[in-house]
Structure 1
């Protein structure tokens, strides 16, 4: 285990949580994480007969996989005081819970704690192989060793989200920019107002924001000149705009498709290590209206 990693936690699709470093739930990582130190990519460069060298284009990031060897067995930290290590039916229940944390249809969350903050990876099950040595029954021994492989839709590790709230205020004479130590930062805008903020992307690759607009309000949101217009929302209605190209979606408060709630759209990313001006314009806002920006930075590695 790298000295830069202080914890590895898995949150399964079944709600089960496993601390793979300390083994407090009966599953422990017996080797390091593999396959995720740097995602592979293809350069989209242009070469011409007359040109010297190349014209640098974009990058196409390939899907990534994460590999881990995990032992499902009680440790001294997972056994209540005075109880014995689980075998038989109790161990089978533990084993089912661990396997149920993964699926090829839904992503499982892996969170690594590092000195630079948490890094998360969301991966779907690609394989789960039993590599336990010996031919005995696993429940009698109370132990099984698995080679686990997860594949991510997005090839990056993600850091802690940066959140900005733009809130309606009936009696705010001016836009209010909260105290410098506010966490998360928040902004209060009048019913008809234009609010802006300078947002830093601390990650290593471009990051696309997610916007959530809650009525009653008509809104315009975006980065710089790249603006998206949200049609009038009634009180209690909301629209979430996920602008990341791989997972791009516009949904309503019930999670249904809501592309009809935007009049026009122009999505853009904040470049890595740079700051951009974001725009949140309210028209006809009333009590309860708000605009939230969530920016999740992307990293090439968890280290």
Structure 2
């Protein structure tokens, strides 16, 4: 991407120098920055870029004049503009504790020898995601425990998690092949909505698991099944070839 830019300050030469130095420090050939465009409806699209080169046209003394013209060359390693993330979540209706407490025995009438309660497996309400982008979009899935079995996917092609997710823990999987399709597992920080010190458990995935995208310009039904009282979160970000 080519970015012509005029940088100026009308508060004096010293202020211009400080302004120019601060701006140049914000550009880095090794670190990415984010270019954001805002559409008339208030929505945004973003593109990650890094500096590859810069030119300036010094036809005058910029310190004395208070302005300079730059020409920046920027590179996007991932060339698509990202729309805003769309997130939806679903929970199992039966919210009883997995490990039975004395209070649970009174509330639900469990026998004395009952140690844990396994909620019935069932299909949660399905949802349809629309991909209005220019290329296929891969969902990011997060499952917060507790669950004893769970699977999720697009249509009838699903990812099958073969292990129990206890309360306070979660798994997360970005199905985009560019991001490695890694199944991360760890404690769930509810306030930050993120995994804490996750570990890679991709090798344990059921080999029948399928990583499926939502085709461009189409709707696709998401489907999932869960045994337990956890929560499933799906996030989709459409990708575009242009900023508008």
Both structures adopt the same fold (TM-score exceeding 0.5): yes
8 Å contact from structure 2 (residues 92, 228) kept in 1 = no
Equivalent residue, structure 2, for 1:110: 35
Q: Larger Rg: 1 or 2?
A: 2
Q: 1:161: Cα distance to partner?
A: 2.1
Equivalent residue, structure 2, for 1:153: 77
Question: Residue by residue, what CA displacement relative to the aligned partner does 1:75-134 show, whole Å, maximum 9, x if unpaired?
Answer: xxxxxxxxx62532x44443343233333333211111223642221122222x141423
Of the three residues 106, 113, 123, the one matched with 1:194 is 123
- Structure 2 length-normalised TM: 0.72
8 Å contact from structure 2 (residues 55, 72) kept in 1 = no
Tell me the distance in 2 between the aligned counterparts of 1:99 and 1:236.
44
- Structure 1 length-normalised TM: 0.59
8 Å contact from structure 2 (residues 52, 75) kept in 1 = yes
Tell me the distance in 2 between the aligned counterparts of 1:132 and 1:294.
45
Equivalent residue, structure 2, for 1:186: none
Does 1:216 pair with 2:146?
yes
Does 1:73 pair with 2:8?
yes
Structure 2 residues not aligned, in runs of 5+: 97-118, 186-194
Which piece of structure 1 moves more, 143-152 or 265-274?
143-152
Structure 1 residues not aligned, in runs of 5+: 1-65, 75-83, 173-189
8 Å contact from structure 1 (residues 154, 246) kept in 2 = no
8 Å contact from structure 1 (residues 168, 191) kept in 2 = no
Q: 1:69: Cα distance to partner?
A: 1.2
Q: Looking at both structures, which has the greater relative contact order when contacts are Cα pairs under 8 Å and sequence separation is at least 6? A: 2
More helix by share: 2
Q: 1:261: Cα distance to partner?
A: 7.4
Tell me the distance in 2 between the aligned counterparts of 1:235 and 1:255.
16
8 Å contact from structure 1 (residues 169, 191) kept in 2 = no
